[in-house]
Structure 1
Amino acid sequence: MTARTIYKIAPRDIWEAAIAAGRFDGAPVDLADGYIHFSTAAQARETAARHFAGMDDLVLIAVPSETLGAALKWEPSRGGDLFPHLYAPLWTDAPFWVTPLRLGPDGRHAFPEDMP
């Protein structure tokens, strides 16, 4: 399984602290699990709904998967789908882009229109 771009949803304050440190070691769930959880574009909306419902102070981080090397593993999770897991810090200069992930009027997260 490969995807050119993978996505991390994170609380804005945790991402801002990571920028100051130069590396993102993960949100509390990542630290507890021992790897940084990512999603593909097809998985990101469900990830947001399941794990970040009602949360508005988030960022969506887009990362080119090919830059992460062997530390990126594709492992089964929800319903047997393969999810990207990073077994290393994410250096904050790695993302293609970072954008706020806000709640829309319907209460669901409003993802960028150009995200596949």
Structure 2
Amino acid sequence: MSERPNIAYKVLTGEQMATLERDGRFDGAPVDRADGYIHLSTEAQLTETVDKHFAGQDDLHVVAVDLGSFGETLRWEESRGGQLFPHLYEPLLLETAVAFGPLSRAEDGTIRLPTTS
């Protein structure tokens, strides 16, 4: 991967999003806790992540995270299809979110990115 993005995305259920907003932190979904890190996706990986891991689910939210907020607790590691994914080895803090909102799709089926208001 030549240049790594500054922003990555986390997909949360409505309940998980409420936890992040209420507590200011998210300690991970069951799969995150089992793997020992919070799974994030780049913009290019986001739609495939949603299609693979969240198919048929409603009330989903997308959180845009500033990767510059993390030091050595953020690692780029090989995963699906040999791609490098950002993995966060600490809780996701609300203060690192640059935008978030309900998950929606564009006409071509890709996930719309949350925007700051």
Q: Same fold (TM over 0.5)?
A: yes
Whether the aligned pair in 1 keeps the contact of 2:37 and 2:90 (CA below 8 Å) is yes
**1:97 aligned residue (56, 80, 99):** 99
Structure 1: tracts of 5 or more residues without a match? none
Change (3 A) 1:67 1:50: same
Percent of aligned positions that are identical: 46
Q: TM-score, normalised by structure 2?
A: 0.86
AA paired with 1:24?
Answer: F
Q: Given the superposition, is the C-alpha separation of residues 70 and 3 from structure 1 closer, same or farther in structure 2, using an over 3 Å criterion?
A: same
User: After the TM superposition, which residues 1-116 of structure 1 pair with which residues of structure 2 at under 5 Å, given as runs?
Assistant: 1=1, 2-102=4-104, 110-112=111-113
Offset of 1:66 from its aligned partner? 0.9
Q: Partners in 2 of 1:4 and 1:109 — Cα distance?
A: 20
Change (3 A) 1:98 1:56: same
CA RMSD in angstroms comes to 2.1
TM-score normalised over the length of structure 1: 0.87
Deviates more, 1:97-106 or 1:28-37: 97-106
Q: List runs of 5+ in structure 2 lacking aligned partners.
A: none
Report how many residues are paired. 113
